[in-house]
Structure 1
Amino acid sequence: MNKLKRLEMLTRWRGANPHPETELNFSSPFELLIAVILSAQATDVSVNKATDKLYPVANTPEAVYALGVDGLKTYIKTIGLFNAKAENVIKTCGMLINLHESVVPQDREALEALPGVGRKTANVVLNTAFGWPTIAVDTHIFRVSNRTKLAMGKNVDLVEQKLLKVVPAEFKVDVHHWLILHGRYTCIARKPRCGSCSIEDLCEFKDKTE
């Protein structure tokens, strides 16, 4: 895809949704961090149902840590992989308390040292909580980037590197939200809704649907 097409694609997404937001419910960097840890291989809807009950009871590292693994499980047991996630969240809360004065660090290396936090989760937190121009590549972004030819790569790391290279600075903070929403509601996995797509004329996917 050439530079002009990319620019037009991003401009259209910005025009339709100038201030995109995550669909995870949160009111602090800590709440976002925990929600993103819980969202691995789970839907935002399922995570929100759990955290809507959890956060009124415990929404600080100390309060969640005090629940313990078994106490936390009672709130998140409807989420996939809840046993492992409960262990990771409690360990993460302990590290935040002991190493970071209960504050979510604005540092990639420190974030990725937390249990249950990989590069994608760190990117989401840095971008959404702190406004960093990072791009978290999930399955939706990987699919949309490759399918449209916006930024092609054989794995999520390569797609992230390509996006960071080709997306102009003015769009970098918001582009991963646009791509997620586009993949979640329009450019869906099995049968993309090309007929209702705002960028159909720019997209270079060969097998477009009616």
Structure 2
Amino acid sequence: MNKEKRREILTRLRAANPHPTTELNFASSFELLIAVILSAQATDVGVNKATDKLFPVANTPEKIHALGVAGLSEYIKTIGLYNSKAKNVIETCRLLIEQHQSKVPENREALEALPGVGRKTANVVLNTAFGWPTIAVDTHIFRVSNRTKLAMGKTVEKVEEKLIKVVPAEFKVDVHHWLILHGRYTCIARKPRCGSCIIEDLCEFKDKIE
């Protein structure tokens, strides 16, 4: 795909959604961090249902840590892998308290040192909480990037590298959200909704469905 076509795709996505953000509910960088840790292999809707009950009760490292693994598990047991996630969140809260003055660090290395936080989670937090031009590649972004040929790669790491390379600076902060939402609601896995897609004429997918 040439750079002119890429720019037009991103221009249209921006025009349709000028101020995109995550669909996870959060009111602070800490709430965002916890929500993203919980969202691994879970839907944003499912995470929101749990955190909408959790955060009014406990929304600081101290308060969540005080719940303990058993107490936290009661709030998040509807989410997949909740036992291991509860352990990770409690340990993350301890480290935030002891090493970061209870604040979410604006630093990739420090974030990735927290339990349950990998590169993708760190990218989401740095982008959404701090405005970094990071691109967290999930299954939606991986599919959309390869299917449209916007940025092709055989692994999420390769797609991230390609997107960082080919996406113009003016779009980098928001492209992560545009591509996730496009993959979630239009360029869906089994039957992409090509007929209602705003970039269909620019997309290089060969098996379009009208």
Moved beyond 3 Å, runs of 4+: none
Count of residues paired in the alignment: 210
2:73 aligned residue: 73
2:166 aligned residue: 166
- Whether 1:90 and 2:90 are equivalent positions in the alignment is yes
- Whether 1:145 and 2:160 are equivalent positions in the alignment is no
Alignment of 1:85-164 (within 5 A): 85-164=85-164
TM-score (ref. length: structure 1) = 1.00
Cα distance in 1 between the residues matched to 2:19 and 2:202: 22
How far apart are residue 209 of structure 1 and its match? 0.2
Cα distance in 2 between the residues matched to 1:34 and 1:22: 13
How far apart are residue 198 of structure 1 and its match? 0.2
Report sequence identity in percent.
83
- Whether 1:13 and 2:26 are equivalent positions in the alignment is no
RMSD, aligned CA = 0.3
One-letter amino acid matched to 1:57: V
- 1:129-160 deviations in whole A, cap 9, x for unaligned? 00000000000000000000000000000000
1:41 aligned residue: 41
How far apart are residue 119 of structure 1 and its match? 0.1
1:206 aligned residue: 206
- For 2:208, what is the secondary structure of its paired residue? coil
- For 2:173, what is the secondary structure of its paired residue? coil
Cα distance in 2 between the residues matched to 1:173 and 1:83: 33
How far apart are residue 9 of structure 1 and its match? 0.2
- 1:185-205 deviations in whole A, cap 9, x for unaligned? 000000100000000000000
Q: Where does the alignment leave 5 or more consecutive residues of structure 2 unmatched?
A: none
